[in-house]
Structure 1
Amino acid sequence: MNQRSPDELRRSRDEALAAGPFSVALRLAIQACGLSLDRLRHRLREQGITVSRTALSYWQSGRTQPERAESLRALRALEQVLGVPAESLVGLLGPPRPRGRWTGNQERGLPRPDRSWARPEGLVRVLAQVEATPGCLAHLLQRRRSSLVRLDAHRQIRSVFAQVVLEARRPQVRRALMVHRFHMAGVPGPVIEHARGWRAGRVRSDPETGFEVHEMILDRILPQGATTVAEYVLAFPPGHLDLYTAHRVVPGARELTVEVVFDPAVLPALCRGFYQPSVAHPRVTTEELWIGSTGTATYTVFDPEPGIHGVAWEWD
């Protein structure tokens, strides 16, 4: 994997400082300064400020954020050590997060790009190309999603059929934004075919990070609380040799079903369902999936936990 140059790191850092989210901006600022977390702690101790390595790690991964007075004091000192403008990181902090697992705050439904995606700065950039922010992804909630992923005899993903039940979470919702991230350098992304319930709008990409957003114009404007059913097929060009398919789930989703159809002549050695609370967590296998005579593995989750759910396979 190629390392980014110092100029590229500083450029990405400055973009994150301007647009957020906080954890991404902090992580990039740390990378750009070239100091380890232990060296940063040492620099802070020289100023009479103590902060644990775990806290710094959690702040840059998005698992927690500074909220208490002593943490905010440490963050302001950290801005000086990192060489970023005063209040640039503090200004990216949102309101204190709700405490407790079942806090009924609607903000829990908002997407956290730093928890859902690696390289989330690319997500911010690609959404900006369609006049959107990560918060716009919460305008529609996927109550139910069913996906059928097909692979060919060359172990490549060739199509994904999806049916979704969407609920408007704000008044007058006119479009949906579908985000994908592709890992095959130089391989073009898929095109949308056979859309029903909406039509394809703009497609924009961020080549540096592999993000792509498809704008879908709804067949009707949805008032808040209204639902609709929509379908589409993603047709992939050759070259997509991914070893998994993943879906980001937010609070309120009721059902996720993923079917993966392999060519019967080329079946994987193993197929598993998995879950990650965030990109900062390792995958946890939720179940081993049986591959039937038609080469199909099926994974269904009811009332799924928020986070990343998917199916992964191994060939050898």
Structure 2
Amino acid sequence: MLHATQHADLPSGELDSALRGGPFHVALRAAIAARGLPLQRVQHHLSRHGVKVGVTSLSYWQQGARRPQRPESLRAVRALEEILQLPDESLIRLLAESEPHPASGRRAARSYRSLVEASAVVDRLRAELGRPADSGLHTLGHHECVRIGARRELAAREAHHIVRAHRDGVDGFLAVHRGDPGCAPRDMRVRALENCRTGRVRFDHDSGVLVAELLFGTRLRAGDTFLFRYAVEDGTARAAREYLRGFDVPGGQYALQVRFDAAALPVRCHRFTQHSPAAPRGGRQELPVTAPHHCVHVVEPRIRPGVVGIAWDWQR
């Protein structure tokens, strides 16, 4: 029987080579084979770690047909390192190193490595606050307004959520904000605007991630709907070039508006989508910056798992 507290010595032979050189799916397949575990047993051990992953997904992962990408999948990869008695970060590192590279001459988006790291940071900060991974809320509507300042920085964003509880006892929401490279989460401010108040706040300087409790002041019952608004004042990084939002599960409407200061207008803007953080970007559509409001927006009638964002170019 495998125990969570056991760790094997550094692997040797084929497994050692796979862990050093990758790719991820080859290392995972070698680790499972080295332990002599059928996928059903691997799934059982994952469930004991509180992570639900299907046998089909595990099979796809070790074949290279799919990659773990969602937060729940990344939690599974970390659990697999423990279950298969592998060195810490060995599989996560291979996932990050095998990220697709942008085409030559094109600006790189936030790397898959950084998204993996940010997801792990959010999990850690959530655990520190004692908040479950399942918020107990389903999104009916999510509207964001991002304000770009005169220094081209992400000055602030405001979020308006319409949610429905799918279990009893939900009393709040964990807001997550990730600043641009070089930001200072310590200097950011979270403001509760409507039907909530700010609770505990935690941040991680290296990843630029800030999480904040938004407390409703009431406990929702399953089926109850609730509306709340909050804002994050940022303005701590250099020039922003895009804003994106990732979704793990389907939901209701999502609207994103980016408003530019009149003293810092971009030369062009476009919307984009991604099926996952590691997938190539698609759905490109040019967005004219309208006067006199100097803003652009996108509306997704139904949220689907993946990424929606707006990117822009500055005059050099």
* Alignment equivalent of 1:114, drawn from 47, 52, 74: 74
| Alpha-carbon distance between aligned partners in 1 of 2:182 and 2:262, rounded to the nearest angstrom | 28
Could you say if the C-alpha distance between residues 32 and 301 of structure 1 is closer, same or farther in structure 2, counting changes exceeding 3 Å? farther
In structure 2, which of residues 169, 174, 177 is the aligned counterpart of residue 172 of structure 1? 169
Q: How many residues align?
A: 242
Paired residue for 1:158? Answer: 155
Contact 2:184–2:205 (8 Å) recurs in 1:
no
Residues 75 and 90 of structure 1 are in contact (CA less than 8 Å); yes or no, is this contact kept in structure 2?
Answer: no
Q: How many Å separate the matches in 1 of 2:254 and 2:16?
A: 37
Write out aligned runs for 1:92-111 (5 A): 92=46, 94-96=52-54
Q: Which residue of 2 aligns with 1:42?
A: none
Alignment-mate amino acid for residue 31 of structure 2: L
Partners of 2:222 and 2:271 lie apart in 1 by 33
**Structure-2 change in CA distance of 1:31 and 1:94 (3 Å):** farther
Q: Distance in 2 between matches of 1:251 and 1:31?
A: 36
CA distance in 2, matches of 1:97, 1:176: 32
Per the normalisation by structure 1, the TM-score is: 0.66
Q: Residues 1-316 of structure 1 correspond to what in structure 2 (within 5 A)?
A: 35-37=20-22, 55-56=25-26, 74-77=30-33, 91-92=45-46, 94-96=52-54, 112=72, 114=74, 117-119=115-117, 120-133=119-132, 135-137=133-135, 139-185=136-182, 187-188=184-185, 190-293=188-291, 294-316=293-315
Q: Cα offset for 1:254?
A: 1.7
Cα-Cα RMSD: 3.3
Q: What letter is aligned with 1:301?
A: E
Question: Which amino acid counterpart does residue 20 of structure 2 have in structure 1?
Answer: L
* Partner Cα distance (1:112, 1:196) in 2: 30
Q: CA deviation at 1:237?
A: 3.5
One-letter amino acid matched to 2:45: G
What amino acid is aligned across from residue 91 of structure 1 in structure 2? H
Provide the rounded CA distance (Å) in 2 between the counterparts of 1:113 and 1:173: 24
Measure, in 2, the Cα distance between the counterparts of 1:56 and 1:132.
35
Please list every run of 5 or more consecutive structure 1 residues that lacks an aligned counterpart in the other structure: 1-16, 19-29, 38-52, 60-70, 81-86, 100-109
Aligned amino acid, residue 118 of structure 1: V
State the Cα distance separating 1:288 from its structure 2 match.
Answer: 1.5
CA contact (8 A) 1:171 1:222 kept: yes
Q: Secondary structure at the match of 2:239?
A: coil
Looking at structure 1, the residues matched to 166 and 239 of structure 2 have their Cα atoms a distance apart, in angstroms, of: 35
Are the counterparts in 1 of residues 250 and 304 from structure 2 also a CA contact under 8 Å?
no
Structure 1 pair 88–130 and aligned structure 2 pair: CA distance change class (3 A): farther
For 2:208, give the aligned amino acid: G
Runs of 4+ in 1 over 6 A off after TM superposition: 30-34, 87-90
Kindly, what percent of the aligned residue pairs are identical?
Answer: 23
Displacement of 1:150: 1.0
Does the aligned pair in 2 maintain the 1:269–1:314 contact within 8 Å? yes
Any unmatched runs of 5+ in structure 2? 6-14, 58-69, 76-111
Corresponding residue of 2:60: none
Q: Give the superposition deviation at 1:97.
A: 5.9
Amino acid at match of 2:165: A
Name the CA distance, whole Å, in 2 between partners of 1:153 and 1:31: 52
Q: Is the 8 A contact 2:180 2:237 kept in 1?
A: no
Q: C-alpha distance in 2, partners of 1:187/1:244?
A: 18
The alpha-carbon deviation at position 34 of structure 1 amounts to: 6.2
Label 1:112 to 1:95 Cα distance change in 2 as closer, same or farther (>3 A): closer
Kindly indicate whether the alpha-carbon contact (under 8 Å) linking 1:192 and 1:200 is maintained by their aligned counterparts in 2: yes
Are residues 56 and 168 of structure 1, via their aligned partners in 2, closer, same or farther at CA, if it must alter by over 3 Å? farther
